[in-house]
């Protein structure tokens, strides 16, 4: 693997498989009480310019279980939020810590941080990509379906960071991927360009969710308005409402036994019905748990194995 985890576009299929295999081992170790303090004495700086529940808790707990320590740095309270150049923050934190996780808005900020930091940088979320979440999704799908290659993944909703990363991660793992979104809310062009180069797996961009969900093994959705898009909520509800929802009709179009994933938090009655959410709650909360194990794998591979 490379020094950093910035986006799934940077990883090979072999990189993703290695992370998932290590994540499986991390989960086994934790469930069976096996000591795995591979990062003893290591420190992770966690920069949050976007609020979080799952990202903060999973990274902080993960570092603790690996024998290390995590430091929470609020963007508003740190110098990075007061105008300090990102390159200076990167070089200072590299003198104190062994790794940096950042959850922010612009992908360019993460890329710049990694450019100047001599230590690994992990993208905890940007408006462009959510690599750690999708690694957890792939881990969960493989747990439930025993494989990834040859399956069909369907995403319904906004062509946001989740859609971007699911397209890349799914296609790289040999999955067919279909995305249904309204006009004007398509995935990033860089991701669509990548999808056009893939051989051995199919990609489809649809307007009709039922078309996208046809014969899908996995159906995934996300909120219509992500953090930072609150002012667009009413406009987005008009664009998505009544159609771009994971409901009984969508699940009937998918394969029998299809699983459902949602990165959470979920707005029941909007992007997913309460009935479908509760019917697949076990899979969804397995997915939430697997953020912990997938991120521990990333932390180990970037901060432990290569040090």
Provide the 10 A C-beta neighbour count for residue 299: 29
Please identify which of the residues 245, 291, 293, 295 carries the catalytic annotation: 291
Same domain, 283 and 160: yes
pLDDT reported for residue 82: 66
Please identify which of the residues 4, 65, 97, 133 carries the catalytic annotation: 133
Same domain, 74 and 89: yes
**263 marked as part of a ligand binding site:** yes
Measured distance CA(146)–CA(167) in Å, rounded:
20
Same domain, 199 and 247: yes
Same domain, 95 and 157: no
Same domain, 33 and 116: yes
pLDDT reported for residue 226: 80
**8 marked as part of a ligand binding site:** no
Tell me if 2 is assigned to some domain: no
Same domain, 125 and 177: no
Tell me if 1 is assigned to some domain: no
Same domain, 16 and 126: yes
Q: Is 291 annotated as catalytic?
A: yes
Tell me if 167 is assigned to some domain: yes
Please identify which of the residues 127, 158, 188, 222 carries the catalytic annotation: 222
Same domain, 139 and 278: yes
Tell me if 79 is assigned to some domain: yes
CATH number at residue 44: 3.40.50.1370
Same domain, 274 and 222: yes
Same domain, 174 and 282: yes
Provide the 10 A C-beta neighbour count for residue 249: 12
**24 marked as part of a ligand binding site:** no
Q: What is the largest CA-CA distance in the chain?
A: 55
Tell me if 223 is assigned to some domain: yes
Same domain, 85 and 173: no
Tell me if 157 is assigned to some domain: yes
**226 marked as part of a ligand binding site:** yes
Q: Is 130 annotated as catalytic?
A: yes
State how many domains the chain has: 2
Question: Tokens standing for 19?
Answer: 């992370």
What's the Cα-to-Cα distance from 277 to each of 61, 153, 239, 265, 291, rounded to whole Å?
26, 17, 22, 12, 19
Tell me if 192 is assigned to some domain: yes
Tell me if 3 is assigned to some domain: no
pLDDT in tens, the chain (307 residues): 799 999 999 999 999 999 999 999 999 999 999 999 999 999 999 999 998 899 999 999 999 999 999 999 987 767 676 678 999 999 999 999 999 999 999 999 999 999 999 999 999 999 999 999 999 999 999 999 999 999 999 999 999 999 999 999 999 999 999 999 999 999 999 999 999 999 999 999 999 999 999 999 999 999 998 867 778 888 999 999 889 999 999 999 999 999 999 999 999 999 999 999 999 999 999 999 999 999 999 999 999 965 4
Structure pTM? 0.96
**103 marked as part of a ligand binding site:** yes
Q: Is 10 annotated as catalytic?
A: no
Please identify which of the residues 217, 263, 293, 295 carries the catalytic annotation: 263
Give the sheet arrangement for strand 203-206, strand by strand: 203-206, 176-180, 152-156, 218-221, 259-262
Residue 156's beta-bridge partner residues?
Answer: 180, 221
Q: Is 222 annotated as catalytic?
A: yes
**126 marked as part of a ligand binding site:** no
Measured distance CA(65)–CA(87) in Å, rounded:
30
* CA count, 13 A, side-chain hemisphere, 222: 23
Domain range holding 13?
8-130+291-304
Q: Is 98 annotated as catalytic?
A: no
Same domain, 146 and 280: yes
């Amino acid at each position: 693997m490379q020094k950093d985890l910035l986006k799934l576009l940077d990883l090979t299929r072999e990189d993703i498989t290695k992370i998932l295999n290590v994540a499986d081992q991390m989960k086994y170790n934790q469930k069976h009480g096996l000591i795995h303090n591979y990062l003893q004495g290591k420190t992770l700086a966690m920069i949050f310019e976007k609020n979080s529940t799952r990202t903060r808790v999973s990274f902080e707990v993960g570092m603790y279980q690996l024998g290390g320590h995590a430091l929470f740095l609020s963007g508003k309270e740190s110098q990075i939020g007061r105008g300090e150049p990102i390159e200076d923050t990167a070089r200072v934190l590299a003198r104190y810590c062994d790794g940096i996780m950042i959850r922010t808005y612009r992908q360019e900020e993460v890329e710049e941080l990694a450019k100047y930091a001599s230590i690994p940088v992990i993208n905890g979320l940007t408006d462009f990509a959510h690599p750690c979440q999708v690694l957890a999704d792939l881990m969960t799908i493989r747990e439930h379906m025993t494989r990834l290659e040859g399956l069909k993944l369907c995403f319904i909703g906004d062509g946001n960071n989740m859609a971007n990363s699911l397209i890349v991660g799914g296609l790289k793992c040999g999955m067919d991927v279909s995305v249904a979104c309204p006009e004007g809310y398509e995935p990033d062009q860089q991701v669509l360009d990548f999808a056009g180069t893939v051989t051995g797996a199919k990609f489809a961009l649809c307007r009709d969710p039922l078309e996208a969900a046809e014969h899908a093994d996995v159906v995934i959705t996300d909120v219509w308005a992500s953090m930072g898009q609150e002012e667009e909520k009413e406009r987005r509800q008009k664009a998505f409402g009544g159609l771009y929802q994971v409901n009984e009709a969508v699940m009937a179009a998918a394969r029998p036994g299809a699983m459902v994933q949602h990165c959470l938090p979920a707005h029941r009655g909007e992007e997913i019905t309460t009935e479908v959410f509760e019917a697949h709650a076990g899979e969804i909360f397995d997915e939430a748990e697997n953020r912990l194990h997938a991120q521990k794998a990333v932390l180990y591979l970037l901060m432990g194995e290569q040090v």
